[in-house]
Amino acid sequence: MHPFSVVRSLSLAVLGCFLFLSGPAQAVITQPNGQVVPLTGRLQGYLNGSANNNNLNEMINEQTDAQIEPQKFSPLCDFSGRYVAKGGGANFAIGWYNIDDTRANSNPPKYVPINTGAGLNTAAANSDIQILFPFSAGLPPANMLDLTAASIRSSPAYKGGLIGFALVPNPNGTGTGNATQYHYTEHRFSTNCTLCSVPGPWYSTLTYKSKLLANTFYLGFEDLDFLNAAGNAGVNGNDLDYEDFLFRFTGVACVGAGQPCTDTTQQGACQIGVTECDAQGKIFCKNVVKPNVNKENCDGIDNDCNGQVDDGAQCPIGQLCSKGRCADPCGSEALCPLGQDCQLGRCIDTACIGKTCAANQVCRAGNCVSPCDGIKCPSPYICSGGLCVDPCVGVTCGSGKVCQAGACVATCDCLPCAAGLTCQSSSGKCVDPGCLSKSCGVGDVCSGGACVDPCIGAVCPSGQTCKMGACTDLPPDNGGGGGGTDADGGLIDGGTVETGCACRFAPAQNGSMAWGLFAGLGLFAVALRRRRR
């Protein structure tokens, strides 16, 4: 079985509206003098099947796949790097620095070593930049091409936010070819060509998003200085092949990556996705479940993504798949709640007996409606196909992952929290600062720094009532449940509507794979194809 979850708040739904649902469009990078870069084809050779790149064939086109974004990165706990190629002879090192948006463009980060002798590759306390690969005029030995124990997040110099990368000239001036410029992934620190036909920064760095490795980017650098001059005078000897220094960094993500999302181009469980960023730094939703791979189970989910929920799902002998769970058929020994009658072993609304609805609807109180119309589940439960489910029940995430809204995502000590949220180390989740050390009673949840009863305002499926923070089944034929409908037939707080609750929802997830949100807030009609009688 595979997890399936829906958007449980308007804010998440709005986020989904801004996700790009496909990969980046191809483009080319043009320098201020009109030159399309990179040149020569050597960089492409390194990226596609070379031993320098561990024989990975990225199938990258060096010009149409080249980008100048993202400029800033979120370092993850599994950060690592590889020195792929060195086509130039200049003596530089590569390092990282903390992003500071308040820093003036005229005051870029600088590297300060302990000393220019034995301490050349060790940053002093007042250094803005920390060295990853040391100063060298040539490619390091094979045993030094890969970083070891290089987690940026555990570095005392790391301030907890975004980072940038910089190519650093040797402070001694040795072997730099008279080059003195640092080359940053933040283009605001690059030399600005005001004399070019299209004024703007010279791009000394190109970025490529890996097509094979998750959270991986290639950075290619030119090493010589760029000048505020038009034409080749401004290029100043750079050959623009961007393999003077070529690095691969894994465990870095752009802002907004690594979160659960919904791929609305798919249906059923195949809408499950995780946000990624393309080489332009734009967020898109990448689905992680493929059609016709998963077996259909009795869980209220379209597991095989064929447009039908629980079709062909198997239950133990003597039980039926009803409302997302295997249950004994109703009858003389298993009565239905008030307002429902037993038909073919399943409890349905009395007014729905003999009524047929469209494939994307269910019958409720004699009317054909979308499955989640009128249902408002108590947090953290969400509505899926007319069921109130806890999307994280049964989900097992790998090391460094935690389940949030049904998705396995990186713990907050490995991925920065969004603005306004704080990392709760005990749970690994990003929470409201007021909830950081708040302890609530059974059934209550912390929201905005206060403990609240999630049943307030909840509207459970018919045959259920909200108690202790969850929708639970009513005793048969007792007519209870609180709330219900008002004089005009509208739902009121604490009321109930059609269908039951599948409280066991999402099973174990493979290893560290993150799962995303399924559709909600009007998307159910597209994804859920159940014919109810």
Return d(Cα 205, Cα 185) in angstroms, integer: 6
DSSP 309: S
Provide the strand spans (E) within 62-128: 74-85, 92-98
Task: Output the pLDDT for position 11.
Answer: 34
β-strand partners of 123: 113
* Phi, psi of 11, deg, nearest 5: -65, -40
Task: Output the pLDDT for position 519.
Answer: 35
Q: Contact 318/328 with Cβ under 8 angstroms?
A: yes
Task: Output the pLDDT for position 198.
Answer: 93
How does pLDDT run along the chain (533 residues), one tens digit per residue? Answer: 333 333 333 333 333 333 443 444 456 899 999 999 999 999 999 999 999 999 999 999 999 999 999 999 999 988 999 999 999 889 999 999 999 999 999 999 999 999 999 999 999 999 999 999 999 999 988 989 999 767 898 899 999 889 999 999 999 988 887 899 999 999 999 999 999 989 999 999 999 999 999 889 999 999 999 999 999 999 999 999 999 999 999 999 887 888 878 788 888 778 777 788 775 667 888 787 788 888 888 887 788 888 777 888 999 999 998 877 898 998 877 788 888 888 888 888 899 988 888 877 888 888 998 888 899 999 888 777 677 877 777 678 888 888 877 777 888 888 877 778 888 888 888 889 999 988 898 889 998 899 999 999 999 987 789 999 999 877 765 433 333 333 333 333 344 444 433 333 333 343 333 333 333 333 333 333 333 33
Return d(Cα 271, Cα 261) in angstroms, integer: 8
Q: Contact 300/385 with Cβ under 8 angstroms?
A: yes
CA-closest candidate to residue 122, choices 182, 171, 88, 186: 171
* Phi, psi of 165, deg, nearest 5: -115, 150
Q: Which residues contact 154 (CB under 8 A, 6 or more apart)?
A: none
CA-closest candidate to residue 371, choices 181, 184, 523: 523
Q: Token digits for 130?
A: 């920390």
Task: Output the pLDDT for position 218.
Answer: 97
- DSSP for 324-340, please give it: TEEEPPPSSSSPPPTTE
What letter represents residue 460's amino acid?
C
Give the ranges where 135-278 is alpha helix by DSSP (H): 231-235
Cα 68 to Cα 63, 73, 187, 216, 376: the distances in Å are 12, 13, 8, 15, 44
Return d(Cα 192, Cα 228) in angstroms, integer: 6
Return d(Cα 44, Cα 38) in angstroms, integer: 9
What letter represents residue 386's amino acid?
G
3 state DSSP class of 397: coil
Task: Output the pLDDT for position 149.
Answer: 67
| Bond prior to 32 in cis (omega within 30° of 0) | no
Return d(Cα 35, Cα 33) in angstroms, integer: 6
Task: Output the pLDDT for position 279.
Answer: 59
Return d(Cα 379, Cα 443) in angstroms, integer: 10
Task: Output the pLDDT for position 129.
Answer: 98
β-strand partners of 260: 274
Q: What is the pTM of this model?
A: 0.71
CA-closest candidate to residue 268, choices 529, 22, 521, 503: 529
Return d(Cα 485, Cα 296) in angstroms, integer: 35
Q: Token digits for 496?
A: 């109930």
Return d(Cα 47, Cα 55) in angstroms, integer: 9
| Bond prior to 38 in cis (omega within 30° of 0) | yes
Return d(Cα 75, Cα 508) in angstroms, integer: 27
What letter represents residue 53's amino acid?
N
Task: Output the pLDDT for position 280.
Answer: 66
Task: Output the pLDDT for position 477.
Answer: 55
3 state DSSP class of 234: helix
In angstroms and rounded to an integer, the radius of gyration of the C-alpha atoms of the chain is 28
N residues, the chain = 533
CA-angle at 103, arms to 105 and 422, nearest 5°: 140
Task: Output the pLDDT for position 148.
Answer: 76
